[in-house]
Structure 1
Amino acid sequence: MSNINTLELDNQIWKEFFLEDVVTINSGKRLTKADMKLGKMPFIGASEANNGITIFTSSKNESLDSNVLGVNYNGSVGFSFYHPYKALFSDDVKRVKWIDNSHNNRYTLLFLSSIIKQQKDKYAYGYKFNAQRMKRQKILLPVTQNDTLDWTFMEAYMKQKEQQILKPTIDKLCKLLIINNITGKGKLSHSQWKAFYFTEVFTEIQRGKRLKKADHAEGESPYVSSTSLNNGVDGFIGNESGVRIFSDCITVANSGSVGSAFFHRYAFVASDHVTQLKREGLDKYAYLFMLPLISRLSEKYSFNREINDERIKREKLLLPVDDNGEIDFTFMSSFMKDVERDILDTTLKMFNGKINVNKSKLWGGGKMERI
């Protein structure tokens, strides 16, 4: 089985199949507007938008299906969408599933959908993707060394794609959660706040050093640049001279994805597209408290208006203060520990719930015995 972190299409064995050899193809059912009753059930038409849903109905017929692909053979020909929910299908849409029903799930069907969509340029309104043509349509699918369909790869590959798509959104939501906590509960739990220049907060403000792509040496040191993904890490290099190496600090992108800010506990090589923000003696949590506040610089700057060395010195952060008017780093650290605990508790409850559901499916019905 391939490692999910390194799954690549080019590394697989592929084999050509007729669609009819691997899937079942069933028709939808014609339902005129005059006969349709409005309701809550999705009705799948030959649309390329909204996952193929054209209206919601309370009508019923033999096209009712779920955990299935809807493949347009008319209208927006060749478009394919996955429907985990119960839905009705128009006569312009074919219902497609794997013949091996034990492998019909979200991920293998999404993999199949992406393969089928590659054929849409072959068909058009005047050359419909009807049932007969679908049956004889050839597609390439990954297979194992034994020449059988590689279900494990298809499922793992689509899970990997899902994670890649969701990660930026999850990261963004986590940042919003922290911002809301800080500006909401944080302000309520700490009555004194004050604006400080960056130069008052950080004892080290230093830009990284330019290193051309052609000069990158192979290695294992993280190279942090202006990307908004992967904690700002844009690759790994082996350069040790002529570079600036930072650690235990925040970086903020001063160009590219301007304002993107990340905390780095590890040592890394910094490009000239990021600026180090550091204060000796701070722990991880105090840095994390300031991170979403610094990220708000992205609202003020852009690709055409970079954060240069002078501008960042004039920027201010609104931070909690103690009775002496000094930055209350102790509060910031304690507050972020509470936020982390809340997030971890919520995440653990979610995963425990999934584990319990899976256990009930695994051991339920007397089909399997515990070992």
Structure 2
Amino acid sequence: MTTSLFDTIKLGTHTLNNRIVMPPMTRSRATQPGDVANQMMASYYAQRASAGLIVSEGTQISPMGKGYAWTPGIYSEQQIAGWKKVTDAVHAKGGTMFAQLWHVGRVTHPDNINGEQPISSSAIKAENVKVFIDNGSDEPGFVDVVTPREMTQQDIDEVIQQFSQAALNAIAAGFDGIELHAANGYLINQFIDSESNQRSDKYGGSLTNRLRFLDEVVAAMVDAIGAERVGVRLAPLTTLNGTVDAKPEETYTAAAALLNKHNIVYLHIAEVDWDDAPETPKAFKQALRDAFKGVLIYAGRYKADSAQQAIDEGLADMIGFGRPFVANPDLPARLQHGYPLAEHDPNSLFGGGEKGLTDYPSYKA
């Protein structure tokens, strides 16, 4: 079937082959020690290069930015070289790939950050949140997060600089652009949401103040690599990792308008995606569309028909399909031809080797 989901679309200087996005998904397969992207990851992403756009799994911008065992970084020369293998493999298959840049803030444990105390907008522990550490076996060990310390102005300046440098590192590693992870309860989100930010300085209190850190990080990255290579991911209605906002629709419509002023190339909205989750209200989606003029991506529980509808209604320009991409490396072809989708094995999502990463076959009629 030929539908607008398979139309080309301009993204900055790139013309993408379709409007299907492989969104960022943590797989925890980086080479140790050093958290380095590797050949196995290169094979995995290259198998999925028929996506219009691939966004890498979250890659930490500094040792302090790491939330989970075995996730890749993008701050060392070795890590940049590792990611170059990945981008070369994806480009060889005609794909376009952005790096998701990540600082987890309080969503970590000292075992993952060289024994340090995590940092956040405020010294508030995320309740009922666990992360996994390397417990010396192939199976991740899940532990509770700890109370972070409130970031000083010096910490904030340092992290902004790390995001800027990570953007430069991503371009050096061959990525076509970057996505700032400002969603799912991680550091930027900890500043945005009212319940996780109890600061009394210029980064807390009013909505303008809570959006200031996002504003300054995006400005620094746009300055470093150009607005046409910067995207941002937000999660307005999810309460993942303990971040909650009192007025999410007001907050995130304002965030979209702020990002529009930076002329970034896309805004990526993560919708709540557990099975009985509430739908994002259509009026809110329209408000985001009105506030942001660049490419708008949505991800969460979409099927071919609902993705098609979102694009046809003008609410979205591209749609991300997360877990379906795990078990279906040829997902765009399967969606286009109505082939059945394979199911992924949840036990092999995090850690391990090729099994459950690169061994899912393409569809054979």
| Fold shared, TM-score > 0.5 on shorter chain | no
Which of 1 and 2 has greater Rg?
A: 1
The alignment's TM-score, normalised by the length of structure 1, stands at 0.22
TM-score (norm 2): 0.22
Structure with greater strand percent: 1
